[in-house]
A and B are shown apart, each in its own frame.
Chain A
Amino acid sequence: MIKTDILIIGAGPTGLFTVFEAGLLKMRCHIIDALAQPGGQLAELYPKKPIYDIPGFPEIDAGELVDNLMKQIEPFQPGFTLGERAETLEKQEDGSFIVTTNKGTKHHAPIVAIAGGLGSFEPRKPKLENLSFYEDKGVEYMVKDPEKFAGKDIVIGGGGDSALDWTIYLAEKAKSLTLIHRRNEFRGALDSVQKVQELKDAGKVELITPAEVVALHGEDRLEKITINRNDGDVFQKSLDYFIPLFGLSPKLGPLADWGLEIERNAIKVDNTLDYQTNIPGVFAIGDINTYPGKLKLILCGFHEATLMCQSAYQIINPGKRYVLKYTTVGGVKGFDGSLKEAPRAVVKAFD
């Protein structure tokens, strides 16, 4: 069981900055995120794109903002459960919560801060009959354990970065690897495209384009697929694994069943005070919440995280006094023993 003061769900900019504000109030944080790396949308969707409305940064790339936030919160030693989706929320008798992920990891905290953005990113699934029957029986949406693909006949579908990257990675391990895409053009980093071209020239990868997988076959597990070439050619192909990589799309997912008040795919919160939800001790901050006048902006998420931490402090330390202190005055004291503070002014009389 992982124990912490504030359990944050979502490692996007709002979730990350919460660690900083909580740390100033001596509260420790742990973050759960369904993606394998911190940063949320910024890291997953647009790491190389600029953002222009972060106060004090005329222009900053999304990925760089994430790097900066990670650096800013480092002294507060946040814990991370990455690549796992928060599945259930159970309220305990003492008012604290246990949050369990889809992989069974349990987290215990008096405060839960949902900073889930658009929700958790789930694979986009092709529209194929019997698709769910073949899931985990030959159809995989993620390459979790590359070894299981060794010596197998594999077909990857898709034309983006992840389709290219896994084609490159698995081409060496697989018995055969076929990449099927609906267009002749692939959208990815230049060196990935070149590498796939080399693998194709070396006979290690077969490209079928423009084409689509239109049907799945097999008695107990996937054995064959039907491929429809745009030129009208329809044929079947035997295989062990079909890996459709059509990107990720965000879903509110299990959060929707936690008993929270939901309005238009967002969690309703009390914006007059602290962004608490209808469940006391559970807060929702950033893009995932809604209230009159809500704006889905990173800078608003930062503000919401800051106010939320004040309320969380009151819940964790009932009756304990605290007044807001400027970091310039009080410095930043990390849980790792580090101390950042403003240099002292020199007081000296001139001769």
Chain B
Amino acid sequence: MDTIQVTITDREGEVHKVDAPTDMNMNVMELIRSYDLAPDGTIGVCGGMAMCASCQCYVSKGAETLPEMGDEEEAMLSEAFNTKDSSRLSCQLFITPEMNGLEIEIAPEE
């Protein structure tokens, strides 16, 4: 299977069920951008280097299928605002078949 389904709640509270390719080296931040679920300039500002928190999301389902948090992501989230225990930087979540059914909510803009 090279497509999985991800449910994304945008910043306006609208829920989108989207298909995510697993074979394009894409991460969840890029998935959000590819479906235009957050305006350019408000998400993935650093390009996906875990150097800003503009792609922060809260994971409500499927957290156990995600890759472990790396040092850079952890350090960035520790300085980010509006964080919760379920916070992740979506740019660090590369889409894999195991993540099918993932549910996330995009965190508010800083």
Contact = CB atoms under 8 A, between A and B. Distances in A.
Interface in B25-82: 39-42, 45-46, 49, 51-52, 54, 71-72, 75, 78-79, 81
Interface in A160-175: 160
A49 B39 contact: no
B110 interface: yes
Nearest to A183: B78
Contacts of A159: 75, 78-79
Contacts of B51: 45-46
A329 to B, nearest CB: 37
Contacts of B79: 124, 158-160, 182, 246-247
Interface in A107-145: 118-119, 124, 126-127
Contact of A264 (B39, B54, B71, B78): B39
A118 B75 contact: no
A266 B41 CA distance: 8
Contacts of A119: 41
B52 A249 contact: yes
A159 B78 CA distance: 9
Contacts of A243: none
Interface string A173-196: 000000000110101000000000
A187 B39 CA distance: 30
Contacts of B52: 247, 249
A265 B78 contact: no
A331 interface: no
A250 interface: yes
A267 to B, nearest CB: 11
A264 B41 contact: yes
B33 to A, nearest CB: 11
Listed residue (B40, B41, B51, B52) with the most chain A CB atoms within 10 angstroms of its CB: B41
A46 B110 contact: no
B39 A265 contact: yes
Contacts, number: 47
A239 interface: no
A187 B72 CA distance: 8
B78 A45 contact: no
Nearest to B40: A264
Listed residue (B49, B51, B72, B78) with the most chain A CB atoms within 10 angstroms of its CB: B78
A160 B79 CA distance: 9
Given A45-B46, A45-B51, A46-B51, A187 B41 contact: no
Contacts of B41: 118-119, 252, 264-266
Contacts of A247: 52, 79
Given A127-B81, A264-B40, A49 B75 contact: no
Contacts of B39: 264-265
Nearest to B72: A187
Contacts of B42: 265
A84 B101 CA distance: 48
Contacts of B110: 124, 249
Contact of B49 (A49, A158, A265): A49
A60 B42 CA distance: 28
A118 B46 CA distance: 9
Contacts of A264: 39-41
Interface string A236-258: 00000000001101101000000
A266 B39 CA distance: 11
Nearest to A163: B79
B75 A249 contact: no
Given A160-B79, A246-B79, 10 more contacts: A45-B46, A159-B75, A187-B75, A247-B52, A249-B45, A264-B39, A264-B40, A265-B39, A266-B41, A290-B40
24 contacts: A41-B46, A45-B46, A45-B51, A118-B41, A124-B110, A126-B81, A127-B81, A159-B78, A159-B79, A160-B75, A182-B79, A183-B75, A183-B78, A185-B75, A187-B75, A246-B79, A249-B45, A249-B54, A250-B45, A252-B41, A264-B39, A265-B39, A265-B40, A266-B40
Interface of B: 39-42, 45-46, 49, 51-52, 54, 71-72, 75, 78-79, 81, 110
